[in-house]
């Protein structure tokens, strides 16, 4: 009977201890839940701040890259502009030099053409005087006796001594011997000179 009573007391004590532990455990769980509820807003606020900081960093990095790209583009554009300006200057100088050379050549050609024209005019005048004045070949073939036998009027006509011109017809075909005269040669050369002058002027104007 005494043993049974002790066992009941021990069971009652064990039950009280279990109830205390369960009560203590429930209170601990409730406290942890309250603590989590209190710290939860703090944790969410930290995430928002982190996201905002990340956005700011990304925005700053994007702005830096954009500015760098702008600076690089500006530098390349400046280099290209300077290169094009140098090319235009060099081309202009080269063109001016070529035009100056062409002008000098044209002036030289015009001078040569003028000299040729004067010579041809002289040849033409000489050809018109051949009827009254002996040619150089005729004078060379004359002996001193025949020259002394000329009349004084003929001797006076030879003073001043005219310019003689002879045309070498040894290489002229027989069909064109009649065209190998100073007058015809003069006209032909004048036509060629006129054509060449017009051709050069048309090239310069174009």
Q: Which helix (H) or strand (E) holds 85?
A: helix 2-128
Main-chain dihedrals φ then ψ at residue 28, nearest 5 degrees: -65, -40
Q: Which helix (H) or strand (E) holds 148?
A: helix 144-148
Specify the pLDDT at position 159.
Answer: 46
DSSP state of 164: P
**Whole-structure pTM value:** 0.31
Taking the C-alpha atoms of residue 118 and residue 112, their distance in angstroms, rounded to an integer, is 10
- Extract the residue ranges of the chain whose pLDDT is less than 70: 1-45, 129-167, 199, 201, 203-206
Which residue in 135, 113, 142, 132 sits closest to 182, CA to CA? 135
Taking the C-alpha atoms of residue 66 and residue 30, their distance in angstroms, rounded to an integer, is 54
Specify the pLDDT at position 44.
Answer: 60
Taking the C-alpha atoms of residue 147 and residue 145, their distance in angstroms, rounded to an integer, is 5
Taking the C-alpha atoms of residue 16 and residue 23, their distance in angstroms, rounded to an integer, is 10
Taking the C-alpha atoms of residue 197 and residue 195, their distance in angstroms, rounded to an integer, is 6
The answer to whether 158 and 138 have CB atoms below 8 angstroms apart is: no
């Amino acid at each position: 009977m005494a043993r049974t009573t002790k066992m009941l007391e021990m069971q009652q004590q064990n039950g009280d201890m279990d109830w205390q532990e369960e009560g203590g455990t429930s209170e601990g769980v409730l406290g942890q839940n309250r603590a989590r509820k209190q710290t939860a807003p703090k944790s969410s606020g930290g995430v928002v701040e982190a996201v905002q900081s990340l956005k700011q960093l990304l925005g700053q990095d994007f702005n830096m890259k954009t500015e760098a790209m702008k600076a690089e583009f500006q530098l390349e554009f400046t280099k290209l502009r300077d290169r094009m300006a140098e090319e235009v200057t060099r081309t202009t100088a080269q063109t001016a030099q070529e035009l100056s050379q062409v002008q000098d050549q044209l002036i030289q050609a015009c001078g040569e053409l003028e000299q040729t024209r004067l010579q041809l005019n002289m040849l033409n005048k000489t050809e018109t005087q051949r009827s009254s004045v002996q040619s150089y070949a005729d004078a060379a073939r004359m002996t001193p006796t025949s020259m002394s036998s000329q009349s004084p009027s003929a001797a006076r006509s030879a003073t001043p001594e005219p310019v003689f011109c002879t045309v070498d017809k040894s290489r002229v075909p027989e069909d064109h011997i009649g065209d190998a005269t100073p007058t015809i040669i003069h006209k032909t050369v004048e036509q060629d000179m006129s054509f060449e002058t017009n051709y050069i002027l048309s090239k310069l104007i174009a």
